[in-house]
Amino acid sequence: MTTPIIVPALGTVNQRLTVSLWLTRVGEQVSAGDRVVELLMPGVTFDIESPCTGTVIACECQPGTEVEEGTVLGWIDPAVTAESEQER
């Protein structure tokens, strides 16, 4: 099951928020907490972290795209670890 990379609640209501740049690429391995995309609001940048360990499989919003809280930015295919196998 894939995991979305979502714009979190940043308190940016009525503020223009855009995707500045992707810090990762499709096919790249990431760990939970790694910075994956940078969002820009006039005068402020926000780094969005990976919600899980796995492989970036899609970048839905390209640089320059306006986004808001709850927007899906991309998708990660979670890594299968020994711990997740034991939970099954």
- Would you mind telling me the total number of residues written for the chain in this entry? 88
Helix, strand, or coil here: 39? strand
Tell me how far apart the alpha carbons of residues 61 and 18 are, in angstroms, rounded to a whole number. 9
Q: Which tops the pLDDT comparison, 59 or 84?
A: 59
Q: What is the mean pLDDT of the chain?
A: 89
Domain boundaries, given as residue ranges, for the chain: 3-80
Can you give the pTM of this predicted structure?
0.85
Residue 88 pLDDT grade (very low, low, confident, very high; cuts 50, 70, 90): very low
Residue 81 pLDDT grade (very low, low, confident, very high; cuts 50, 70, 90): low
The Cα-based distances of 1 to 4, 66, 76 in angstroms read 10, 27, 9
Q: Write phi, then psi, for 73 (nearest 5 degrees).
A: -90, -35
Domain covering 3-80 assigned CATH 3.30.530.80 in the classification? no
Could you read off the pLDDT of 34-60 as tens digits, one per residue? 999 999 998 899 999 999 999 999 999
**Which amino acid would we find at residue 80?**
V
**Which amino acid would we find at residue 28?**
E
